[in-house]
Amino acid sequence: MTQMIFIEGVSGVGKTTTVQALKNRLRSCGYTVKSYVEFDFANPIDFYGTAYVPNEQYEKLCQNHREEGPQISRYSVPAGAATLVRYSDGDRPLFSEGLMGKLRAMEFCYKPARPVPLAAYSKAFEAVWEDFDRSYDRSVDFYIFDGSLLHHPLNDLIRNYDASKAQAAAHVKLLLGCLKDVHTGVFYLFVEDVAAQLRLARQNRRQPPPEPAAVAFWEQRRRYDAYVLEHAVPVYQLLNVTQDGYPAVLEQIVAACCG
């Protein structure tokens, strides 16, 4: 049976590094693996640079931009009452500037100018996750996701909707409920000193040190995540990378996945 693995934790804790190390380790053991890290354009259940287009507007959009119709269709994802249109792959725009402006104005998740209603946001994700559950390749042993269950969705819920912990927990429970007849592993990485880890992560990325407001946000976010884990995720593991270190944590995840 395919396993869906979610590596979670606050910013800078080492999620992406862990996903890549876990993928390599599982493949070395003979397993087939698909993995998706942050900003991954191919991620089927997580979105950046994506427009939320109500279906009636989507038809008009396609009619008004017939010359780009095949491209629009290629990057469209059905989402119930709306269609999600991926309009950029990282920094690379996928459409002409005129169409790009329209799609940017309808950004779905990442700092949208006009967020869709919270109920519509959750309904769209429910439709996408249900479609993924119907269509994923069941010959693959492991799918590994970097922050796609808690980290990115909760960023949206907090920053775009000021959602309560209970609302966030309901959203995560909804997502997990879309995955039928599959083993799900949720591994939450944490550090004892969030501020120090953020500084180190920013330094490694050659970015300026975090502002006090950013540190406060992620310290609060860890408490927010703890509530959502307790109230929405039936089984999960908390892994202290400060105390145990990444090699030991990797061994714990591998043991849980392959045991």
pLDDT at 210: 84
Segment 61-79 mean pLDDT: 96
Query: How does residue 154 score in pLDDT terms, banded at 50, 70 and 90?
Result: very high
- For the range 207-212, what are the long-range contacts, defined as Cβ-Cβ under 8 Å and sequence gap of 24 or more? none
Residues 33/173, Cβ–Cβ less than 8 Å: no
Q: Which of 19, 15, 52, 46 is nearest to 33 (CA)?
A: 19
pLDDT at 120: 97
**What would the pLDDT profile of 3-62 be if each residue is shown by its tens digit?**
999 999 998 899 999 999 999 999 999 999 999 998 899 999 999 999 999 999 999 999
Residue with tokens 């909804």: 174
pLDDT at 205: 83
CA–CA–CA angle 23, 225, 138 (5° rounding): 35
Q: What does the mean pLDDT of the chain come to?
A: 95
Q: Which of 10, 3, 8, 99 is nearest to 51 (CA)?
A: 99
Q: Around 77, how many Cα atoms within 13 Å sit in the side-chain half-sphere?
A: 28
Residues 6+ apart with CB under 8 A from 34: 137, 140, 142, 143, 144
Q: Which residues pair with 107 in a beta bridge?
A: 51
Query: How does residue 244 score in pLDDT terms, banded at 50, 70 and 90?
Result: confident
Q: What percent of the chain has pLDDT over 90?
A: 84
Strands, sheet with 50-54, edge to edge from the N-terminal-most edge strand = 50-54, 82-86, 76-79
Lowest mean pLDDT among 83-92, 104-113, 194-203, 239-248: 194-203
Residues 213/229, Cβ–Cβ less than 8 Å: no
**Rounded-to-integer distance, Cα 49 and Cα 44, Å:** 13
pLDDT at 217: 87
pLDDT at 83: 98
- Tell me the domains of the chain and their CATH numbers: 3-44+116-258 (3.40.50.300), 50-104 (no CATH)
pLDDT at position 165 over 90: yes
**What would the pLDDT profile of 207-225 be if each residue is shown by its tens digit?**
898 888 888 888 999 999 9
